[in-house]
Structure 1
Amino acid sequence: MQRENKQLLVLTHLSQLLDFVTGIGGFIVPLILWLTQRDTVLNMDKNGKAILNFRISMFIYFILCIPLILLFGLGLLGFVVLGFLTFIFPIVNAVRVSNDEQPYYPMSIKFL
């Protein structure tokens, strides 16, 4: 039986911000929370998949910006925009989840 734990869902979204402190914690912590709690916390599976799809997509986009820096210099703008999205959308979606709304991450490729 699944139980509702809105605080854990909010924490899972906000844990992505660990990237700005540790470098990789923003992917590892949500992954661990999703793997351990997806069967026991209501909506954790849906939220965890949305987070991980967003994180994987952002990683791919960051990798694609590298050759754009060498070729056109546009990669720097790409890094700034992606950094902004990576910072803002975990906060926006933490607020959405706390208000019983569905998370929305733009530019996410559905891997999971």
Structure 2
Amino acid sequence: MLCHLSSILWILIALGLGLVGIPLPLPFLNIVVPLIIWLSKKNQHPFIDDHGKESLNFQISFTIYSVIAFIIFLFLLAATCGIWAYTSNSTSSSLLFQIALVVGVVFGILSLIAGIVQLCLVIFAAIKAKKGEFYHYPFTIRFLR
């Protein structure tokens, strides 16, 4: 029983530390911290190994989706700014500035929603792990099997 409780504790720590990338703007911190814990503890219990791989798969997938979304945002912003720079009259410049502003606000809102979804999914996985159950994150690419 103690081995199982220790496993649950390490899973909860790894899951929780995967969230440090949300408020801290340090790239890939949400992957590195759980990876270190998983690599150091995966051989202690199959439960840690399974949850660690699942958490890492989710964090890697989420990071890839975030990078793709950011590239799309930059493309839309660059396209808008390019059109804005190409047009010289003040009416269309004002409109394009407003469009660029809307693109930025929409991206910000979508980023906030994505962070909340990430937070909720990790909390849900932690609750399942605490109960001794396994959880498969949705929309996750299985890099580690």
CA shift at 1:22, angstroms?
Answer: 6.3
Aligned length: 110
Is the partner of 2:46 in helix, strand or coil?
coil
2:29 matched to 1:25?
yes
Q: d(CA) in 1 for partners of 2:59 and 2:128?
A: 18
Q: d(CA) in 2 for partners of 1:16 and 1:106?
A: 16
Normalised to the residue count of structure 2, the TM-score between the two structures is 0.66
Q: d(CA) in 2 for partners of 1:61 and 1:9?
A: 24
Does the 8 A contact of 1:37 with 1:44 survive in 2? Answer: yes
**Alignment equivalent of 1:89, drawn from 118, 121, 135:** 121
Q: d(CA) in 2 for partners of 1:41 and 1:30?
A: 16
Question: Percent sequence identity over matched residues?
Answer: 25
* Greater Rg over alpha carbons, structure: 2
Q: Which runs of 5+ in 2 are unaligned?
A: 78-102
**Alignment equivalent of 2:44, drawn from 40, 46, 59:** 40
Matching residue's letter, 2:76:
L
Does the 8 A contact of 1:65 with 1:78 survive in 2? Answer: no
**Structure with greater helix percent:** 2
Divergent runs of 4+, >6 A: none
2:44 matched to 1:12?
no
For residues 21-67 of structure 1, the C-alpha deviation after alignment (integer angstroms, 9 at most, x for no partner) is 46243222210111011111231111111111111111111111123
Q: Which runs of 5+ in 1 are unaligned?
A: none
Q: d(CA) in 2 for partners of 1:6 and 1:97?
A: 6
